[in-house]
Amino acid sequence: MTNNQPDLDRIAARLDAAATAARATGQITADHPDFTLDDAYDVQRRLIDHRVARGEAIVGVKMGFTSRAKMEQMGVSDLIWGRLTDAMQIADGGTLAMDRFIHPRIEPEIAFRLKKPLAGHVTLDEAFAAIDAIAPAMEIIDSRYADFRFALNDVVADNSSSSAFVIGQWQVPLADLSDLVMVMNFDGEPVQSGSTAAILGNPVQSLVEAARLAALSGLTLEPGWIILCGAATSAEALHPGVHVRLDAEAIGRVELHVAGKAA
């Protein structure tokens, strides 16, 4: 093996160690310019295999860069996805320990819970028919790369920055999810607001894309799984002591405390 040929197992172990120790690492593409998107999804699977070996269970997938705001914030314009495990879920109103993360940010999202499997090419109607319940949700992202900077293939290998998530009360799916106001507050002050329209025009479209992209890696979205549709707005940096609340029109609210005293 030549020097700059990527060793996918080593890269996965390095990203797993960075996440576990909450210590940033360098971008993979800096060492391996030939690191492909296929390699990146392969590393992501190996990375999650480490966690499954430690007893975590896959409970769904997250979508990323489904809104223009997020693409512009991070300078990446391709849809990406990552895997969610049970250990990543924080109870609604629960507490996030800041010291488990490197530089966490939070995003306003919509979650779906599935009642039917979805794989490959599905229509918007088929995707909607597979939804068992919807809920307001927030994703905590925490890039394992220094300064939250990465290229597409780096972020994909890093499980698309996914770190934790919180889900509000599950509701019966609304027939029209295409333009609902979402407001995310820090200590009662709005920090990000937008519309579900920002998520590919309709969050259900994100589920269509999740089924398509996951199938490229041989994965079926399973009944009972949670799908995070991607942020409607830019992500907001978390800080110790902050209370975060998302209000999603006609869907409900979801909250989270960040442990520690404000600086």
- 217 neighbors 37 (Cβ within 8 angstroms): no
39 versus 154: smaller Cβ distance to ligand OOG: 154
If one asks whether residue 70 binds ligand OOG (CB under 6 A), the answer comes out as yes
Dihedral angle sign, alpha carbons of residues 98, 100, 105, 108: negative
Contact region with Mg ion (CB under 5 A), list: 124-132, 203-211, 230-238, 239-247: 230-238
73 versus 116: smaller Cβ distance to ligand OOG: 73
Q: Give dist(CA 101, CA 259) in Å, integer.
A: 12
150 versus 186: smaller Cβ distance to ligand OOG: 150
- Quick note: the x/- pattern for ligand OOG over 123-142, rule CB under 6 A, is ----------------x-x-
Q: Which residue is nearest to Mg ion (CB)?
A: 139
Contacts with ligand OOG in 162-221 (CB under 6 A)?
Answer: none
- 238 neighbors 106 (Cβ within 8 angstroms): yes
If one asks whether residue 236 binds Mg ion (CB under 5 A), the answer comes out as no
DSSP code at position 25: B
Give the number of other CB atoms < 10 A from CB of residue 37: 14
If one asks whether residue 108 binds ligand OOG (CB under 6 A), the answer comes out as no
If one asks whether residue 231 binds Mg ion (CB under 5 A), the answer comes out as yes
6 versus 108: smaller Cβ distance to ligand OOG: 108
Contacts of 38 (CB under 8 A, 6+ apart): none
Cα-based torsion angle of the residue sequence 167, 171, 173, 176 in order, rounded to the nearest 10 degrees: -80
Pick the binder of ligand OOG from 104, 136, 168, 230 (CB under 6 A): 230
Phi, psi of 259, deg, nearest 5: -65, 155
If one asks whether residue 158 binds Mg ion (CB under 5 A), the answer comes out as no
Enumerate binding residues for Mg ion (CB under 5 A): 107, 139, 231
